[in-house]
Structure 1
Amino acid sequence: MARFDRYMLSQLLALFGFFSLVLVAIYWINTAVGLFEDLISDGQSALVFLEFSLLSLPNVIRLVLPISAFVATVYVVNRLMAESELVVMQATGFSAFRLARPAALFGVTVAVMMLILMNLLVPMSRTILADRTAEVRDSLASQFVKDGEFLHPVDGVTLFIREISPNGEMRGMFLQDDRGADQVIYTAERAFLVRTETGPKLVMVDGLAQTLEAGRLAVTRFGDFTYDLGAMLEPATRAARRMNELSTRELLWPTEATMTETRSDRAEMVFEGHDRLGQPFLGLAASLIGFAALLLGAFSRFGLWRQITGAVLLLIVLQLINTLAGAQGPKLAFGWMLAYAAPLTGCVMAVLMLWWAQRPRRQGRARA
């Protein structure tokens, strides 16, 4: 690799890492806020929250990599043009296509990273996340224990817990059971949830049992009382797999079983599989567009703001094409071809701009 290629590629990778870190942090914080509210409010620990947050990271990284590649390319090329380094390289006889070689290598590197993410890490993390979600929903704390709220686990049962201590002790408990012929109200100073061989039990300590029988109220004091929760807590089941949990091979060659499981038809699954292969090359297209658009401008003390604006607009057009393809592709028999529409369009745009940048008339204006 030529010295210029190594120099420019190192600049691109360094800034790509910086911008990726910043964007991933922003996206991750936005996702983590929702997870924090859902998990912590359900009584889960901070470790469960951290685990779920880490499992969501591969998909977040996959979303930000093309944007980071584009921003890094624009930043580096703009700085090299402002410091006349690219102008000097053009003066030595480097064509626009030759100058674009490090940007193309950088784009291929980003595409390989996205291929690994979209075809291995993201489906794996989605599968683990779905499994852990089922386990969390099956826990007693997530289904039953919430303080400061009137809960209705099943019809005819009302539960209120004043406070839950850090060690899981429930204080100030109220339980009303109207399912039988007689209405029963339990109140207790303290209560605990325990698992037994016959199912979960609620152990109440220092309380009262008030039973309304034929219009007469009977009150029973107890030191401890065990209430069966087996009929109230239904075990959570693992939801059927979705397309984003399947491997790429299962999507490209779907079977009747996988189509039934995901409730999708063949066209949808095949498009999703090809989308995993085509989307990574948006990183390549974004980096080439950022480089080629700025190469159209000559050295200027006022910067290349017009070219940067044009590159951003082209990236928006590329995203619109990608969105339309994603909406229409799953509906068509051969719609999987549309999965490659946005990456190919972006690469063609970049090639046309590079050809335009190296025309003799453009080079003459740059030297003038």
Structure 2
Amino acid sequence: MLGIDRYVYRQCLTVLAFIAIGLCFAIWLSQSLRLIELIVNRGVSVGTFLYLALLLLPRFLEVVLPIATFAAILFTYHRLITDSELVVLRATGVSQMGLARPALLVAATASLLGFALSLYFLPTSFRAFKDLQFEIRNNFASILLQEGVFNSITDKVTVYIRQQSPSGELLGLMIQDERVDGRPATLTAERGALAQTDSGPRIVMMNGTRQELDRKTHRLSVLAFDRYIIELGDVRDAPGARWHEPQERYLPELFFPSGTQADRYYGHRLMVEGHQRILAPLYPFAYALLALGCLLGGEFNRRGQTWRLMGAIGIAFGVQVGNIAFNNLANKTPALLPLMHLNLLLPMAAGIFLMLRPRGRRHAAPAAAPAA
């Protein structure tokens, strides 16, 4: 790598790092607020909350990496133009490809990082996130029961407590259990406690009654008890029942799913996600070529740089919108999948054309005719 290449490469990479970190932090902060309900409603510790939020970072980094690459190249090369450094380099005989080489190396670096994220870190982190989220939401013992509120544990189990003591004892309990069809049961107790066992969570109720109504005979059965245990093992879904979403799967699992009924039904979504995993790491090249084509192509004009910047930003915005839109369309209509590839290839081709097209030459004014 030549000295000038190292200089421009280092400048671009530094700006890229700052922009990527800033964008990631902003997105991470906004998305992490959605996880606050796990602390408020589920009693999740702060450490678990931070771990969940950390698992989302690879997804955010994959999104911001192409944008950060585009912004870094645009900023660095615009500064080189305004400082006349590129003019000097051109005057020394450096070709268009020579000027573009550092930016393309930055795009290659971002692309390699993107492939690492797309093929390994993204599915690994997202699967860990969904597994932990699933465990939290289905583990009854981790649910924070709110006092004075009817807490819907499932569609068929509702728990009400008047008060919860600092030691965890539940006071003034009422449970509505409709898991047995046609025989709803209402349980009340003076006090109780949550217990976690190998067979699943349960509630131990003390000094209460159990009322069960047979809707066929309209007969009400009442049972008074000193101690009663209600099993809640079926509140928690079986771990193997959870379907792995496309974002959780590695590339072979996307293109060659297991063949379950859910996989066959969502097969087109898996296919679209597989193509997106391959295309996403290549977007740094598309954005880099767009930036280079707009800034290096054509005749140099210091006063026209603002319009070139605005044009590059507008085109990049259109490409990003197209990336999201065509992905959504392909999920609904698989026949539109080629549009995802065109959205990547067309900006790359346009950037190469703008950058390498022959530059216009200014013709000298004709000399004045000699006086007769």
- Deviation string 1:100-142 (CA, Å, 9 cap, x unpaired) is 0111111111111111111111111222222222322331245
Q: CA deviation at 1:62?
A: 0.5
- Deviation string 1:249-299 (CA, Å, 9 cap, x unpaired) is 2333x256167436233x554443232112211111112212321224736
Contact map agreement 1:203 1:226 (CA 8 A) in 2: yes
Whole-Å separation in 2 of the counterparts to 1:262 and 1:164: 47
Q: CA deviation at 1:308?
A: 0.9
Query: Structure 1's 363 and 173: CA in aligned 2 closer, same or farther, altered over 3 A?
Result: farther
1:306 to 2:298 alignment: no
Number of positions where the alignment pairs a residue of Structure 1 with one of Structure 2? 353
Q: CA deviation at 1:79?
A: 1.3
Secondary structure of the corresponding residue to residue 241 of structure 1: coil
Q: CA deviation at 1:44?
A: 1.6
Q: CA deviation at 1:162?
A: 4.3
Query: Structure 1's 6 and 304: CA in aligned 2 closer, same or farther, altered over 3 A?
Result: same
CA RMSD of aligned residues (A): 3.6
Query: Structure 1's 112 and 166: CA in aligned 2 closer, same or farther, altered over 3 A?
Result: farther
Contact map agreement 2:103 2:288 (CA 8 A) in 1: yes
Query: Structure 1's 182 and 20: CA in aligned 2 closer, same or farther, altered over 3 A?
Result: closer
- Deviation string 1:172-219 (CA, Å, 9 cap, x unpaired) is 43315587999866343x6421123554333457x6659899xxxx99
Whole-Å separation in 2 of the counterparts to 1:79 and 1:154: 59
Whole-Å separation in 2 of the counterparts to 1:212 and 1:281: 63
Whole-Å separation in 2 of the counterparts to 1:182 and 1:82: 77
Query: Structure 1's 258 and 57: CA in aligned 2 closer, same or farther, altered over 3 A?
Result: farther
| Equivalent in 243, 247, 250 of residue 250 of structure 2 | 247
| Equivalent in 215, 232, 235 of residue 233 of structure 1 | 235
Give the equivalent residue in structure 2 for 1:291: 292
Give the equivalent residue in structure 1 for 2:55: 55
Q: Which runs of 5+ in 2 are unaligned?
A: 214-221, 365-372
Contact map agreement 2:58 2:122 (CA 8 A) in 1: yes
Q: CA deviation at 1:65?
A: 0.6
Give the equivalent residue in structure 2 for 1:282: 283
Secondary structure of the corresponding residue to residue 44 of structure 2: coil
Query: Structure 1's 130 and 262: CA in aligned 2 closer, same or farther, altered over 3 A?
Result: farther
Secondary structure of the corresponding residue to residue 279 of structure 1: helix
Give the equivalent residue in structure 2 for 1:97: 97
Give the equivalent residue in structure 2 for 1:175: 174
Whole-Å separation in 1 of the counterparts to 2:26 and 2:10: 25
Secondary structure of the corresponding residue to residue 196 of structure 2: strand
Secondary structure of the corresponding residue to residue 300 of structure 2: coil
Whole-Å separation in 2 of the counterparts to 1:79 and 1:4: 15
Q: CA deviation at 1:72?
A: 0.9
Whole-Å separation in 2 of the counterparts to 1:315 and 1:278: 16
Contact map agreement 1:293 1:307 (CA 8 A) in 2: yes
1:16 to 2:19 alignment: no
Kindly provide the amino acid, as one letter, of the partner of residue 194 in structure 1.
A
Kindly provide the amino acid, as one letter, of the partner of residue 319 in structure 1.
Q
Contact map agreement 2:199 2:233 (CA 8 A) in 1: no
- Deviation string 1:224-268 (CA, Å, 9 cap, x unpaired) is x4432336734454411222222212333x256167436233x55
Whole-Å separation in 1 of the counterparts to 2:156 and 2:133: 28
1:333-344 residue pairs with structure 2 within 5 A?
Answer: 337-344=338-345
Name the % identity: 27
1:257-268 residue pairs with structure 2 within 5 A?
Answer: 257=259, 260-261=262-263, 263-265=265-267, 268=269
Q: CA deviation at 1:7?
A: 0.3
Whole-Å separation in 2 of the counterparts to 1:315 and 1:109: 20
Query: Structure 1's 228 and 359: CA in aligned 2 closer, same or farther, altered over 3 A?
Result: same
Whole-Å separation in 2 of the counterparts to 1:30 and 1:134: 21
Secondary structure of the corresponding residue to residue 93 of structure 2: coil
Secondary structure of the corresponding residue to residue 128 of structure 1: helix
Q: CA deviation at 1:58?
A: 0.8
Query: Structure 1's 173 and 280: CA in aligned 2 closer, same or farther, altered over 3 A?
Result: same
Contact map agreement 1:43 1:146 (CA 8 A) in 2: no
Whole-Å separation in 1 of the counterparts to 2:177 and 2:324: 53
- Deviation string 1:22-75 (CA, Å, 9 cap, x unpaired) is 000011011100011244322222122112111111111111111111111111
Whole-Å separation in 2 of the counterparts to 1:182 and 1:104: 68
Structure number with greater CO (CA < 8 Å, separation at least 6) is 1
Whole-Å separation in 2 of the counterparts to 1:332 and 1:212: 52
Give the equivalent residue in structure 2 for 1:131: 131
Whole-Å separation in 1 of the counterparts to 2:92 and 2:140: 72
Whole-Å separation in 2 of the counterparts to 1:32 and 1:166: 29
Give the equivalent residue in structure 2 for 1:353: 354
Kindly provide the amino acid, as one letter, of the partner of residue 257 in structure 1.
G
Query: Structure 1's 220 and 278: CA in aligned 2 closer, same or farther, altered over 3 A?
Result: closer
Contact map agreement 1:171 1:191 (CA 8 A) in 2: yes
Larger deviation: 134-143 or 23-32? 134-143
Whole-Å separation in 1 of the counterparts to 2:52 and 2:283: 28
Kindly provide the amino acid, as one letter, of the partner of residue 345 in structure 1.
L
Secondary structure of the corresponding residue to residue 161 of structure 2: strand
